[in-house]
Structure 1
Amino acid sequence: MFTGFTDETVDFMWGIRFNNERSWFEAHKEIYLEHFYRPMTELADEIYAFLREQRPDYGLVRKVTRIYRDARRLHGRGPYKESLWFTVEQPSEQWTARPVFWFELMPEGWTCGMGYYMPRPVTMAKLRARIDRDPGTMEKMMRALSRQETFVLETEDYRRPKSAAPSALLEPWYRAKSFSIVHSDKLTDALFSREIVDWLKEQLPFLLPWYDYFVTLDADPDPRDL
């Protein structure tokens, strides 16, 4: 059961940022396992069980990232990540084609939300085509998003919109190359107790209708073939 991250968790994250090398990590590996990886896994297990209970037919799985960076993608960075995250998602051969729930802890703070990591262009094309067919559903969801203050829509945009949006409310989706609906915060006291579990269980259900909308997107026809 998750009981909270600790001061040692934070110290380790800052330590690996400024000492990102094998000798430092090996000397502090037990701290990493006990105060970072273990509580992250326990938190992941609880949130996974909660979301699976909300959507039992989705076959959701949970994944906790490894601290080791892919050696092929270091790009001058050290071999270790300074943050950890977990995801809850449907398994898929094309993992960028499915949305995920996530929680991430970093030296400066934490984030959680739902979205895609580097979705394929065809995924976003399917999204625009679905909105074209039924703009009202997305407009209703966007109005609900604007009425609350926990989550915000963040997008990485193309230089120009891919096509004209049906309404001003929907314009962000016609510029978006990728997106997430995210909550960001500092290292709040909630992280160091079970309060963060209660907070996530209270807030994440807002994202379930969004997940329902996107999780079936990969099965839509490719609009480029129509």
Structure 2
Amino acid sequence: DYVQYLYEPMKALGQELFAPFAQLPDMVLKVSRIYRDARMHPPEPYKQSLWLCIRQEVPWWGENPCLFLEMTPEGASYGFFFYHPKAEAMERFRKDIAAQPRAFLELMEKTRHSTQMPVTARCYRRPKASPLPELEPYYAWRDQISCVRQVPPGPELFDPKLKDQARNCSPV
């Protein structure tokens, strides 16, 4: 039942969402169940999460941004996630947004408006100095940068429009 009703439909959805990225070098689609060691977490349910991820084929995925969709008994979530960027990448990010602050702020506003999802991040306790007050929140970003939508269990979770909503987050 798992393969027929969950895994195969998730693979098919993944292929549809991956299509715009298929020709890009080193991009891959991963579809998987979350595994964990039942010996270490015996009271917790085993293998209740099914996810797909569109990312670069690199040694450690956490240092590169990815798009994802995850299904759990509590619902679904999808969006953009950049788990643990290297410090050099964040320094380059800060230099880039300082060089073109208006373009960056417009992009952030366009993203918020088009996706109806906030872009969030884990911040430094003592934020880095920003050249402009408008950039201060972004200079504080450390890691776990995301733009994620939660979908609770219910009709929306099984609506074919969910695929289109997830696809529309792709430009983020």
For the aligned pair, the TM-score class normalised by the smaller chain equals 0.7 to 0.9
Residue aligning to 1:180: 146
Contact 2:34 2:51 in 1 (8 A): no
Distance 1:135 1:41, change over 3 A: same
| 1:124-143 matched pairs, under 5 angstroms | 124-143=90-109
- Deviation digits for residues 127-170 of structure 1 (CA, Å, limit 9, x no counterpart): 112222322321121221343452211211221212225232x2
- Consecutive unaligned residues of structure 2, counting only runs of 5 or more, are none
Contact map agreement 1:114 1:182 (CA 8 A) in 2: yes
Which residue number corresponds to residue 204 of structure 1? 169
Letter in 1 for 2:11: T
Q: Which has the larger radius of gyration?
A: 1
More strand by proportion, 1 or 2? 2
Deviates more, 1:111-120 or 1:188-197: 188-197
- Distance across 2 between alignment mates of 1:41 and 1:110: 15
Query: Of residues 36, 60, 64 in structure 2, which corresponds to 1:98?
Result: 64
1:103-135 CA-partner distances (Å, limit 9, x unpaired): 111222211111212223332222112222322
Query: When the two structures are aligned, how many residues end up with a matched partner?
Result: 171
Query: Which amino acid in structure 2 is aligned with residue 171 of structure 1?
Result: E
1:24-35 residue pairs with structure 2 within 5 A? 31-35=1-5
Letter in 1 for 2:142: K
Residues 33-61 of structure 1 show CA distances to partners (whole Å, capped at 9, x for unaligned) of 33322222221121112x326xx334421
How far is 1:62 from its partner?
A: 0.2
Distance in 2, matches of 1:79 and 1:146, equals 35
Unmatched 5+ residue regions in structure 1? 1-30, 208-226
Over the matched positions of the two proteins, sequence identity in percent amounts to 30
Question: Of Structure 1 and Structure 2, which has the larger fraction of its residues in helix?
Answer: 1
Computed over aligned residues only, the root mean square deviation of the Cα atoms, in angstroms, reads 2.7
